[in-house]
Amino acid sequence: METVYDWLTMAVFAGLVVLLLHRSAQEEPSDSIWAYLPPAIGCTISNQLGNGGYEIVALLILAGVVTYIIAVLKPKLRW
C-alpha cells in the first residue's frame, strides 16, 4: 500500500466485496457471481497501470469500474 492507486483500487474492491457478500447472503441472490469479475479485473488493471505511471488511463479505467458497478450491479446507495 504505497501509492494512491493502491488505496483507491483497494477501497473500490472492498466495496465490491461487501456488496457481493451482502447479496450472496440473501435467500435468492439477485445476480450471478460472474457479474463481479469485470470490476475486480478492472481494479487490478487500474492499479497496475497507475503504479506503472499511466495515471490518466488508470483513472479512466477506475471510473469505468465504478460506472459498471453503479449501472450493472445497481447497489442501493443510502445517504
Sign, Cα dihedral of 45, 66, 4, 6:
negative
Query: Residue 79: inside a domain, yes or no?
Result: no
Among 77, 45, 79, which Cα is nearest to 64's?
45
Low-confidence ranges of the chain (pLDDT < 70): none
Number of structural domains found in the chain:
1
Give dist(CA 60, CA 18) in Å, integer: 23
Q: What pLDDT is recorded for position 35?
A: 96
| This prediction's pTM | 0.91
pLDDT (0 to 100) of residue 45: 98
> What range does the domain containing 60 cover?
4-73
At 31, list the grid cell.
445476480
| Position 24 in a domain | yes
